[in-house]
Amino acid sequence: MRMTNKIMQNNSLYNINNNKILRDKLSTMMSTQKKITRPSDDPIIAIRALRLRSSVSELTQYYEKNAKNADSWLDVTGKALDTATQVLTDISRRANDAANKDRKCEDLKILLDQIKSLKNEFYSTGNVDYAGRYVFTGFRTDTTMSFTEQVERDQKRTNGGYPNYTIHEQNTIADFDTVNYTDVGDLDGLNINNFTDPNYANIAEQDIKNGDIHRLRVSYDDLDPAGPTGGVKVEMIDPATGNPGTTFTATNASVGDDPDPYQQMLTANENNQDLILFVPETGEILFSDTAYSKVENATKAPGAGGTSAEIRVTYDKNTWADGDIRPEHYFACEGTTLDESGNVLMDDSVNPPVPVKVNYNKEYLTTAGGKKQAIEYDVGYNQKVQVNTTADEVFSHDLDRDVEDLENAIERLSAIDKTFTDMEKKFKTMEESDPNYALVKKQYEAAEKAYSHERENVHNMFGRMIAKAQEYLDDTNVAVTDNGTRSQRLDLISNRLMDQRTTFKTLQSENEDVDIAEVVIQLSSTELTYNAALMATGKIMQTSLMNYI
């Protein structure tokens, strides 16, 4: 092959250009500190880089955002549960102090006021939020656990109050309890100034009656006695079909009746009468001994389900107070919807129009126990952590209702205590020869008997409050433990995520990043080669055919 000067010149220029391309590549690698700038530079490195970057991005999302948000949620919940634990412990201490029989009525009122304040703080804790999301309300994170003054302002209708609710409570025979009641007869209103009034002339010790009454206490008081349910429905649910079976008819009664519902129950027990009374003011369904036996036997009937048989109670409530727990967090219920003006929204598509209602937890009536509204955070590959504790795990309605029972019992005790104190003073200042001695003695003995029953009842109620406070505390401790376990698991997952992210970042760096020292050496070598090639090519360019002529 004949090698001409032109061929030599072209080859030199081609090699110089390749050297410049290599020099540019090394210079780019030096400035970007990456092995490639486009996929075509090295497809294998590019494919591996995409995979590693995707993994690092996911791990960063899990570690820096999801896991930290979940940890913050768990931390807020944990602190709220700690507060609830402290409050319940204080309630137990106050109840233990009040259970001392030496405590006077005034002392009991003070201790009860303290318990009520602690109870309010307990339920207020349920409204704690994390970044505007309420942590104890399941999926309804935009809704407070209990009604508040702000909610009242937002939802108040033109005629006042909150929306109506029709509530379905699912109970069993185990939810029945007994309430002790003392019928003081004509002692009510008796004092040292009116003991000679003819209305109190027939008072006798044997007229003071005391007894236990079976009751099913629902979760709320101040119920609507004339709502859509017509008062209250008590139904046995067929476990095979889930449909209502035996229905128990309750008669509406009022605390202001004469005789009052509890007196009627004592009389019904004496006469073996089958009687069920619904007291909307107190939210109690009272059963005579005969009526309770029928309910108990119904649960034992073949196929009824035994002691776990569902006894469904349906009632209406349309008046709410600040601090009342919202029923949609606990029960299957229907609530009215309000328009922008605060009026009940009506469905005009039917004639006559009917209120638009929202069904809450409808599945509770068909699924045993309902569905737990667990909020889970995705914190790893196929790894989720539940971050929320639902209200029903900690904030039972029973504490509020127990305090109400105590308040009513102490009111009755306070009333009879005044009568007993007056008549005791009067009786101790009289002689047998006094004309009213026999009358005052009968009144005093009757008052003493009534006071003794009421005082014993209050003492027993505070004793039960101690046990119940411990039950509430046990439930809260279980929630604290569950929350702590989730937090510990999240810590382990976070540590693993941190290690995985570090590993993948190292792999990513090894795949993409250049060795600076090696690139510097190659670039220096390339520059030296480039300069030498320029010198050689310059000499070649100077030689031509004319040099040989």
215-246 burial: b if 16+ Cβ within 10 Å, else e: bbbbbbbebbbebebebbbbbbbbeeeeeebb
Average pLDDT estimate for 410-439: 91
Beta-strand ranges (E) seen in 201-330 are 209-217, 232-237, 244-248, 251-252, 276-279, 284-287, 311-317
SS3 readout for 30-86:
HHHCECCCCHHHCHHHHHHHHHHHHHHHHHHHHHHHHHHHHHHHHHHHHHHHHHHHH
Secondary structure of residue 260 in the 3-state scheme: coil
pLDDT in tens, 236-285: 988 878 888 889 999 999 998 989 999 999 999 999 999 999 999 999 99
pLDDT in tens, 378-424: 998 888 999 999 999 999 999 999 999 999 999 999 999 999 999 99
Residue by residue, DSSP assigns 483-530 as HHHHHHHHHHHHHHHHHHHHHHHHHHHHHHB--HHHHHHHHHHHHHHH
pLDDT in tens, 510-533: 887 777 788 788 878 888 887 887
Task: Give strand pairing partners of 215.
Answer: 177, 286
Cα dihedral value 14, 16, 21, 27, nearest 10: 180
Q: Give the tokens for residue 162.
A: 């909150």
The residue written with tokens 């005391």 in the block is 210
The residue written with tokens 């690698």 in the block is 29
pLDDT in tens, 459-485: 999 999 999 999 999 999 999 999 999
Residue by residue, DSSP assigns 329-379 as GTSEEEEE-B-TTSSBPEETTSSS-EE-EEEESGGGGTSTT------EEEE
Do residues 318 and 165 lie in contact, with contact meaning Cβ atoms separated by under 8 Å? yes
Cα separations in angstroms, 462 against 71, 91, 119, 301, 322:
39, 11, 15, 36, 26
Q: How far apart are CA 405 and CA 465, in angstroms?
A: 10
Residue 54, Cβ neighbours under 10 Å: how many? 11
Predicted local distance difference test score (pLDDT) of residue 20: 80
Q: Give the tokens for residue 193.
A: 């100034």
Lowest mean pLDDT among 30-34, 382-386, 427-431: 30-34
Q: Give the tokens for residue 151.
A: 């909610």
% of the chain residues with pLDDT over 70: 93
pLDDT in tens, 41-50: 788 888 888 8
Secondary structure of residue 434 in the 3-state scheme: coil
Q: Read off φ and ψ for residue 278, nearest 5 degrees.
A: -105, 120
Predicted local distance difference test score (pLDDT) of residue 157: 45
Average pLDDT estimate for 149-156: 56
Average pLDDT estimate for 329-340: 83
Residue 423, Cβ neighbours under 10 Å: how many? 26
User: Would you call the peptide bond into 239 cis, given omega within 30 degrees of 0 as the criterion?
Assistant: no
Q: How far apart are CA 245 and CA 358, in angstroms?
A: 26
The pairing of strands 332-336 and 311-317 is unpaired
Q: How far apart are CA 300 and CA 294, in angstroms?
A: 10
The burial of 351, by beta-carbon neighbours within 10 Å (0-12 exposed, 13-18 middle, 19 or more buried), is given as: exposed
Predicted local distance difference test score (pLDDT) of residue 151: 56
Predicted local distance difference test score (pLDDT) of residue 168: 95
The residue written with tokens 């349906």 in the block is 314
CA proximity to 118, closest of 85, 143, 145, 151: 85
Cα dihedral value 446, 452, 458, 463, nearest 10: -160
Angle between helical axes of 437-512 and 67-98 (0-180°, round to 10): 160
Average pLDDT estimate for 125-134: 93
Task: Give strand pairing partners of 334.
Answer: 166, 359
First to last CA, the chain: 22
- Does residue 162 or residue 106 have the better pLDDT? 106
Q: How far apart are CA 464 and CA 476, in angstroms?
A: 18
Q: How far apart are CA 232 and CA 282, in angstroms?
A: 13
